[in-house]
Amino acid sequence: MVITPSPHKIVLLRMTELKLFSLIILLSLFQSASVNGQSEEPVIGELEVIEDSITTLAEKGDGFLSGDELLSRLESVGSCLDLRVTDVVRGYIRNYVNRNSEKASLMLGRRLTYFPLYEEKMRQYGVPEDLKYLSVVESALNAKAVSRVGATGLWQFMPSTGGEYGLHNNSTVEDRSNPVKSTDAAARHLRDLYKMFDDWALALAAYNSGAGRVNSAIKRAGSRDFWQIQKFLPVETRNYVPAFIAATYLCNFYYLHGVSSYDPDLDLQLTDYINVYEGISFQDIADATGISADVVKELNPGFKRDYVPPTTDGNYVVIPKRVMPAFVRYLNSISSARSYKLDKPEEYTSRDMGNGRYWESKVTMRESLSIKEYARRAGLCAEHVKAWNNLTDDYLNLGQKIVLHRPVYVQKHSAVKIEMPGSQEKKPAQPPARSQSPGNISSESQPAPQPAEAPRWLYHVVRRNESLEDIARLYSTSTEGIRRLNDCSKVKFGDRLKIRSL
């Protein structure tokens, strides 16, 4: 005999099952199953998306784009993954453009600082450049992000995994927050995971939860297709690839949803880095280059004390590219153990003075090219070219005019020159010369000789780690002349030197 429960009991039973399922998911969110972890400010709200999937949000009638429309746009971007637009992917995209547009705008601005570096490192290690969007999922491009389980930095490395790839953490440095070191480590880690799984979707899943959990899911599912093993992965990891797809969409099509990008100053966009072995403060760097110490701090979040400690391995320091020549000159002035050099000195020259920091180069396209290919030829990042010209298309057409920003390179930052009091006194007025015709100049028409003008002096305050040779070059004079004028054989920080003005 079959006993059929009443409709009332069926409803209660289904509600109980739904609550239990929701509780399990909530508990999963607070117990990270990740090797690399999630940032405290995830790019997309996981909880809202999972709730949407529980309540089976309808494809139609929710006021958002259909999966086909989203997929059509994504396919124009291209990816190393099999892009699919599921309810979860749509939920991530909708949640971010509708509810977190302010965070999206901040994150989108940071892409102009970090994406050029990401692309460089990924090319170096043979990793697809579109994996740069993984950092959006991990940290929202926040180098200071720290997860609830201790994962840190742009790529959210745990201490153990970071240590395997040479990322150190001590009282002065946190390499997981160093953009250069952490990106280099992330590219190598992704390369190693791909060698293990021969599939980028599986490599991403392993990046999040570890290779062991992915291998276990593969065995249980009897498949090596991410979408087939998805249900056997931890909750956080099964939504990881969908989140990556949503991040790819967001970075390429945010403008279609009324989301803006808060673009940073050009000093935070056009940057360069160098491996430094000496101990120097951020203020030293500022004094040597003319940029503010705050800019140095913003570009170098991996240093804990506004100070680059001395080391035998070197610390990567990021600065605006336009001041790299001055910084290299400064490093050579304080280093006795090594010689610092620019990789390609011919690139560090300016064709124009512009506004003193950057100049605009106006270009008319002589052929049709993709922005990515044009940027590669011009030594730029495609993101910069698009942002500077408010472009939404991925191609440049024949005859199209665009603007590029180029640095005005600082070869040596000049110290403040202090004039001697009274040196700006007015000179005696010269008597007017009599008019005369060519070829009819007599000795009487020559102006009377004037008394010799008294020498004018400048005063220079010696900066930290500055030598007599540096000061002599700055004022186009000789070290011996400075010694005689000041009756000294050497100088120290804070000395006030008298220098003859030319």
Which of 343, 289, 350 minimizes the C-alpha distance to 320? 289
CA dihedral 69, 71, 77, 81 (to 10 degrees): 170
pLDDT in tens, 441-461: 333 334 444 444 455 677 787
Question: In which band, very low, low, confident or very high, does the pLDDT at 41 lie, cut at 50, 70 and 90?
Answer: very low
Which of 502, 500, 490 minimizes the C-alpha distance to 462? 490
In this predicted structure, which of 167-171, 285-289, 364-368, 413-417 has the lowest mean pLDDT?
413-417
Question: In which band, very low, low, confident or very high, does the pLDDT at 5 lie, cut at 50, 70 and 90?
Answer: low
Report the pLDDT averaged over residues 458-482.
76
In the chain the domains, ranked by start, together with CATH numbers, are 7-257 (1.10.530.10), 266-347 (no CATH), 358-407 (3.10.350.10), 414-422+454-502 (3.10.350)
Report the pLDDT averaged over residues 474-481.
73
In this predicted structure, which of 82-96, 226-240, 309-323, 479-493 has the lowest mean pLDDT?
479-493
Question: In which band, very low, low, confident or very high, does the pLDDT at 497 lie, cut at 50, 70 and 90?
Answer: confident
Residue 59 pLDDT more than 90? no
Higher-scoring residue by pLDDT: 32, 316: 316
Which of 344, 288, 284, 286 minimizes the C-alpha distance to 310? 284
Can you give the pLDDT at residue 402? 96
pLDDT in tens, 10-19: 444 445 444 4
Q: How would you write 35-94 as a 3-class SS string? A: CCCCCCCCCCCHHHHHHHHHCCCCCCCCCCCCHHHHHHHHHHHCCCCCCCCCHHHHHHHH
Higher-scoring residue by pLDDT: 407, 95: 407
Cα gap 494→427, rounded to integer Å: 33
pLDDT in tens, 144-157: 999 999 999 999 99
Residue 216 pLDDT more than 50? yes
pLDDT in tens, 97-112: 887 788 899 999 999 9
Which of 214, 153, 215 minimizes the C-alpha distance to 186? 153
Question: In which band, very low, low, confident or very high, does the pLDDT at 480 lie, cut at 50, 70 and 90?
Answer: confident
Higher-scoring residue by pLDDT: 22, 140: 140
Question: In which band, very low, low, confident or very high, does the pLDDT at 8 lie, cut at 50, 70 and 90?
Answer: low
CB-based contacts of 33: which residues, under 8 Å, 6+ apart? 209, 213, 234, 235, 236, 237
Can you give the pLDDT at residue 6? 56
pLDDT in tens, 243-300: 999 999 999 999 999 999 999 999 999 999 999 999 999 999 999 999 999 999 999 9
Residue 422 pLDDT more than 60? no
Higher-scoring residue by pLDDT: 202, 434: 202
Question: In which band, very low, low, confident or very high, does the pLDDT at 63 lie, cut at 50, 70 and 90?
Answer: low
pTM: 0.74
Question: In which band, very low, low, confident or very high, does the pLDDT at 433 lie, cut at 50, 70 and 90?
Answer: very low
In this predicted structure, which of 87-101, 348-362, 406-420 has the lowest mean pLDDT?
406-420
Can you give the pLDDT at residue 2? 43
pLDDT in tens, 353-409: 777 899 999 999 999 999 999 999 999 999 999 999 999 999 999 999 999 999 999
Can you give the pLDDT at residue 62? 52
What average pLDDT is seen over the chain?
A: 81
Can you give the pLDDT at residue 138? 96
Task: State residue 358 phi and psi, 5-degree precision.
Answer: -140, 150
Can you give the pLDDT at residue 56? 39
Which of 295, 290, 294, 288 minimizes the C-alpha distance to 327? 288
| Strand segments (E) across 184-335 | 271-276, 280-281, 307-308, 315-320
Which secondary-structure segment (H or E) carries 364? strand 358-364
Residues in the chain: 502
DSSP state of 152: B
